[in-house]
Structure 1
């Protein structure tokens, strides 16, 4: 993997009196490797490409004037490739423009949670996330008001986008440096708040109650066991469980409401939809009914046993005495709209330069 990492000029330069602008990058080495590789036809997203994406994103960030980049470490599957691509010597990156956070690596979701906390504590102005819906959900739990740039490298990718990392890095840099104002380039996302007994959790795209008795392999791929489905948004051309709702009534990310779908065995109802619930897997799903999910109006489920899946992965095991409360919160994480950011930059001539003169 080779990359051009030297830049003679920058588009945006922060005043010397201002603190250095920094951006974090979190790449999940496990994203795109769950059981759906076996149960459907999902492709594997190699860590070599994730490392290449990081290097390309850094190129965009540097061109936009970002002075420091903080990276989440792993046990070498991504970080080792990034070291070599950037020509870093040795394992120490202290004081460099690009450095890895000093943290214990557990190769679990805790790495993402701890890295997000460390980046926010270090004062990053944005975080670029490489992963699927589950990775972005983990970052959203800890990022607070720090905006995210969501890049898809997972299995079901309803929340993040497929984007060239260089362009994504440039957009993140323009937001981080303040060259493009937040009002022009940031979008507020909805989320679902899930409360079960003494546990509180969130989902960025969907939460569903299933008839699975155990968390097990986590990923939900058998649509016949889905009983209740809640979504923040639902694209007609989406993939994952939210695609079921998308075939009933598409809901945009900007819409004030979500959807609540009550599913049923296909033999029990004449209403059915076909939806792509995983790559290579189109399922027929029976639907009893569905309704709009209004903000801050909780739906309560009781007397159920099974599991709750959050963004496609089973997380919570329930017994018949559990009380589940699900509500839509319009004040979820902020994300960087790449197209809107770069359109603003073009309209305001932020990326134009002329030989021998100012822009």
Structure 2
């Protein structure tokens, strides 16, 4: 492997620590654990030849703890190889702007892969700017429908195999669907947003704490996929009509208001919460055509977080396409490696 292989790391310092922990029993990912996950990721990447890692600085301590681990590793002279880590000199705002700017800079610097530690919202923010650079997904958020739940060391190994080309892209990488929402009339005409898992029309009039957590607030839901063992809003589709990530279509669901008739369904729309929703309709949502979003008031939520407050004259439309990010399929990558005995060859080469 070439020492020029470069991997970017986005570790959202705010993921897994939002207000939903006050109303649910979601896992908490403290700063120290995120730093430990990055260190374990470095071990997997470095042993398989990744020579350079780019990271962002932050004010919460993730970068500081990683730097301390790097200094300790160098001081004790551990035999395990770690990549050289560079911290990008970018402004720190402690907002999603850091992720947008950091990913854009990493792409400009020619990274071969971006490892993302976060939930659905973090991965959405990265996907908006990563272009054709593949993502290595790791769950550290509240709703983790999109990213993988995998040990960081193993993820690092899979990421290195993919970034190096030792496992061919058609094996290592998967193309994902996405939902695209655009405003075609009104004060926000021209605005465009994407979602990797779900777009929800919420009856809540204001963004507020952002999270869509009350089942009665859900008016309409569009899904790229719906796993039967998923969490978050997509679990509603998974409980009624599961859709694989590889399926050519998504789902379009509508929900009854209080007192209206429909089909009651239980679904885990948040960690530790099994809520009942009343489903009115559920249809396939085909890729490749634009459909109007019928909503005159309320909010639009993307991957579980409300972002747009609808105004009277706004007109939005939505489409499903296959222009979502490339992601590393860890299981498939490692199975290919085992079938070709790549680890044995790499070990022999290092002697």
TM-score bracket for this pair, using the shorter chain length: over 0.9
- Aligned equivalent of 2:241: 249
Question: Which among 205, 211, 217 is matched to residue 225 of structure 1?
Answer: 217
Q: Which runs of 5+ in 1 are unaligned?
A: 1-12, 90-95
**What RMSD in Å do the two structures reach over aligned CA positions?**
1.8
| Structure 2 unmatched ranges of 5 or more | 74-82, 184-188
1:302–1:320: 8 Å Cα contact kept in structure 2?
no
Q: What is the correspondence of 1:317-332 to structure 2 with a 5 Å cutoff?
A: 317-332=309-324
Matches within 5 A, 1:176-187: 176-187=163-174
- Aligned counterpart in structure 2 of residue 195 of structure 1, from 182, 189, 199: 182
In structure 1, C-alpha distance between the alignment counterparts of 2:307 and 2:252, rounded to whole Å? 19
Whether 1:147 and 2:134 are equivalent positions in the alignment is yes
Of 43, 54, 65, which residue of structure 2 is paired with 1:59? 43
SS of 1:45's equivalent in the other structure is coil
Distance 1:232 1:88 in 2: 44
Deviation at 1:343, TM superposition (A): 0.7
* Preserved contact between residue 17 and residue 30 of structure 2 (Cα < 8 Å): no
Tell me how far 1:73 sits from its aligned partner: 1.3
Relative to structure 1, the CA distance from residue 71 to residue 288 in structure 2 (aligned partners, 3 Å threshold; closer, same or farther) is same
Partner of 2:229: 237
Superimposed CA distance per residue, residues 42-73 of structure 1 (whole angstroms, 9 cap, x where no aligned partner): 23111111100101101111111111011121
The question of 1:38 aligning with 2:30 is answered no
Q: Does 1:339 align with 2:331?
A: yes
| 2:296 alignment counterpart | 304
* Alpha-carbon distance in structure 2 between the residues aligned to 1:354 and 1:238: 36
User: Partner of 2:308 in structure 1?
Assistant: 316
Could you give the per-residue CA deviations for residues 164-200 of structure 1, whole angstroms, max 9, x where no partner exists? 0000011111111111110111000000001123210
Contact 2:13 2:60 in 1 (8 A): no
Corresponding residue to 2:268 among 276, 295, 304? 276
Cα distance in 1 for partners of 2:41, 2:282 equals 41
TM-score, normalised relative to structure 1? 0.90
Distance (Å, rounded) in 2 between the aligned partners of 1:20 and 1:328 = 36
Report the TM-score, using the length of structure 2 for normalisation. Answer: 0.92
Distance in 2 between the 1:166 and 1:331 partners? 29
Q: Which moved more, 1:39-48 or 1:310-319?
A: 39-48
Residue 149 (structure 2) pairs with residue 162 (structure 1): yes
Is the Cα–Cα contact under 8 Å of residues 31 and 60 in structure 2 kept in the other structure? Answer: no
Task: Identify the residue that residue 80 of structure 1 maps to in structure 2.
Answer: 64
How many residues are paired up?
Answer: 337
Whether contact under 8 Å (1:34, 1:219) holds in the other structure is no
Higher mean displacement: 254-263 or 71-80: 71-80
- Per the alignment, in what secondary structure is the counterpart of residue 344 of structure 2? coil
Indicate conservation of the 8 Å contact 1:303/1:321, yes or no.
Answer: no
- Tell me, what secondary structure is at the counterpart of 2:28? coil
**Which residue of 2 is the match for residue 97 of structure 1?**
84
Contact 1:185 1:341 in 2 (8 A): yes
- Please say if residues 266 and 284 of structure 1, whose CA atoms lie closer than 8 Å, have aligned partners that are also in contact: no
Q: Is residue 342 of structure 2 the alignment partner of residue 350 of structure 1?
A: yes
